[in-house]
Chains A and B, each alone.
Chain A
Amino acid sequence: MLRFLAPFAVFVALIIFFAIGLTRDPREIPSPLINQPAPTFTLQQLQVPAKQFSPADMRGQVWLFNVWASWCVSCREEHPVFVELAKRNLVPIVGLNYKDQRPDALQWLTQFGNPYVLSVTDFDGRIGIDYGVYGVPETYVIDKQGVIRMKHIGPVTPQILQDKILPKVQELSK
């Protein structure tokens, strides 16, 4: 009896491992920044370079921090989702224009619409490194105390917005 059951048990165990393991995305690396204070910075605003922005300016409200660039193809994919979200006035979105050229970035916003309250410029990618950015686009949900509560890697789809991000925003807004 054992000689049939033992290989079968091994087989079932392997199937379970694969069933869990193969559905995971190896590109999604868990961020150590979750539940940590958002790294501070002071950066120039994209549209008004004379003005600066730092995360402390958003104290007291829940906000989205979205890393984007005009050279990033997936950003184009998620952009309409944010344009729609901005119209609904549910949560302010701040953009981090990552390793971009200013004219390209401005052109991009004119062409595809600007859902951002404002965007800041990170031309050399230093702030991106502080936020653990490794694949644009990335989106952070930051709470009223300035703590990162969620990070989404890759384009935000309507599904992800509805099921993951907005519930989190609502929960944090209470």
Chain B
Amino acid sequence: MMRAILGVFLLSLMAFSQADEAPPTAQDPVLEARLNHLAKELRCLVCQNETLADSRADLALDLRREVRDKMRQGMSDAQIKDYLTQRYGDFVLYRPPVKSATWLLWFGPFLILIAAIAGLTYFLKRRRKVLEEIPLSAEETARLKSLLHSENKQA
């Protein structure tokens, strides 16, 4: 009996602790969904490997608030991205834009892949040449025959 009571007590504690952590209900679920979607595309500048959606840094909270305000003002996602880029640079975008300064970043890996394939092809071709069978000359055939012949005799 005591055990059962204790169990219920502990369970109720768990329920309370979970209720504590539940996020405050958003006033406008549509806007909140849009915010979360956009925040995944934006970088938190304090913890640079996190998106604005994931980060709990103070600045991330402020920036989310700012983005939410801009959305309420009717700015499009692209306009909000522009607004942030003007202040924090391209770095704030989780997916860097394709432009001359980022060509190496976007296409560099493919260049390395092409170089690797070229290198491998070259290596394999050369190896095939080494392994290729070269027919024996008449002289060599005669010598081979005589060697085999002498061995047969000994056996």
- Interface residues of chain A, those whose CB is within 8 Å of chain B, are 26-27, 29-33, 99, 124-126, 128-132, 134-135
Interface 9-mer from B8-16, B26-34, B80-88, B145-153: B80-88
User: Taking the nearest CB of chain B, how far is it from the CB of A151, in angstroms?
Assistant: 11
Q: Known contacts A124-B62, A129-B62; is A134 also within 8 Å of B89 by CB?
A: no
Q: Known contacts A99-B58, A125-B62; is A131 also within 8 Å of B45 by CB?
A: no
A-side contacts of B87, CB under 8 Å: 32-33, 129-132
User: Taking the nearest CB of chain A, how far is it from the CB of B119, in angstroms?
Assistant: 9
Of the candidates B58, B62, B87, B88, the one having the most CB atoms from chain A within 10 angstroms of its own CB is: B87
Q: Is B91 an interface residue (CB 8 A)?
A: yes
Chain B positions 16-45 with a Cβ under 8 Å from a chain A Cβ: 45
A30 to B85, CA, bound (A): 11
A-side contacts of B102, CB under 8 Å: none
Q: Known contacts A99-B58, A124-B62, A129-B62; is A26 also within 8 Å of B88 by CB?
A: no
CB–CB B58/A129 < 8 A: no
Of the candidates A26, A99, A132, the one having the most CB atoms from chain B within 10 angstroms of its own CB is: A132
Q: Which of A27, A99, A125, A134 contacts B88 (CB 8 A)?
A: A134
Q: Known contacts A26-B48, A134-B45, A134-B46; is A32 also within 8 Å of B89 by CB?
A: yes
B-side contacts of A132, CB under 8 Å: 87-89
Of the candidates A32, A124, A126, A131, the one having the most CB atoms from chain B within 10 angstroms of its own CB is: A32
Chain B count of residues within 8 A CB distance of the other chain: 14
User: Taking the nearest CB of chain A, how far is it from the CB of B83, in angstroms?
Assistant: 9
Q: Known contacts A29-B45, A134-B45; is A126 also within 8 Å of B89 by CB?
A: no
A55 to B46, CA, bound (A): 27
Provide 29 A-B residue pairs closer than 8 Å at the C-beta atoms, listed in order of the A residue.
A26-B48, A27-B48, A29-B45, A29-B88, A29-B89, A30-B89, A31-B88, A31-B89, A32-B85, A32-B88, A32-B89, A99-B62, A124-B62, A125-B58, A125-B59, A125-B62, A126-B62, A129-B63, A129-B66, A130-B87, A131-B87, A132-B87, A132-B88, A132-B89, A134-B45, A134-B46, A134-B88, A135-B45, A135-B46
Q: Known contacts A134-B45, A135-B46; is A29 also within 8 Å of B91 by CB?
A: yes
Q: Which residue on chain A has the smallest CB distance to residue B44? A: A134
A31 to B88, CA, bound (A): 6
A-side contacts of B62, CB under 8 Å: 99, 124-126, 128-129
